[in-house]
Structure 1
């Protein structure tokens, strides 16, 4: 009986640790922390070492994304530990990321997976020109 109680207690203590996301870097950023790091900025997006897009973060959890295919507007929100972007061309298929600070930079882990796509966001110096007056 005593052994069963001890094992049950150990299981309770280790279960939350196993449930947490084990990603490099610090803890996941919530919406407030993500907004504080991105609002009013343009961020070059690397995968993680090749530049493939730029995103401008606007008030009201809105953004404009630009890559080789063009520009599109988005909104974002926190869903659990993830920041999910809904782009105008796929509003019902959000792209969700867990963002944290890794090696002193803002990194994103697609769907919070350490085996999936990873991005690195770096403040951009280049202008962002789109054909529309966006979101």
Structure 2
């Protein structure tokens, strides 16, 4: 048991020494894999504690987002190893995420900060209740 703990600690220290942060679940998803998991689905987005948004993924790398402040449309694309969303209210300032699969769920890290809080994105049936369909 002690040997296993020592090996884990050595692995963590080696990762920190190299300046890398391990991503649970494996490598980041590319655009094709992300699209395959989300296209045509409504996904509930949870921070570590609660549901904070709903996103519906449409054809052509488009999406509708709803949170407490309302609804907005977006397009998305892969930029490096991140998926970046260009929302209608600030297309010049994309929201970029690293996504991968962990324990059967889609997980995301904002701006690729894998040492920061993780969000979970799971298929859901929460209502969008948006007054527009133009995305």
Name the structure 1 match of 2:92.
Answer: 92
Residue pair 1:21, 1:112 contacting (<8 A) in 2 also? no
| 1:117 CA displacement | 3.7
| 1:19 CA displacement | 7.6
What does the per-residue CA deviation read over 1:81-129, in whole Å, with 9 as the maximum and x for residues that have no partner? 0000010001000000010001210000111112334211010122221
Q: Which secondary structure state, in structure 2, belongs to the residue aligned with residue 90 of structure 1?
A: coil
> Which protein has the larger Cα radius of gyration, Structure 1 or Structure 2?
1
Query: How many residue pairs align between the two structures?
Result: 119
In structure 2, what is the Cα distance between the partners aligned to 1:51 and 1:87? 20
Residue pair 1:77, 1:83 contacting (<8 A) in 2 also? yes
Name the structure 2 match of 1:45.
Answer: 45
Would you say 1:72 and 2:72 are equivalent positions? Answer: yes
Q: Which secondary structure state, in structure 1, belongs to the residue aligned with residue 91 of structure 2?
A: strand
Name the structure 2 match of 1:9.
Answer: none
Name the structure 1 match of 2:7.
Answer: none
Normalised to the residue count of structure 1, the TM-score between the two structures is 0.82
Structure 2: unaligned runs, 5 residues or longer? 1-17
What does the per-residue CA deviation read over 1:12-65, in whole Å, with 9 as the maximum and x for residues that have no partner? xxxxxx586621122110000000000000000001331001000000000000
1:103-122, aligned counterparts within 5 Å? 103-122=103-122
Change (3 A) 1:20 1:31: farther
Name the structure 2 match of 1:125.
Answer: 125
Normalised to the residue count of structure 2, the TM-score between the two structures is 0.82
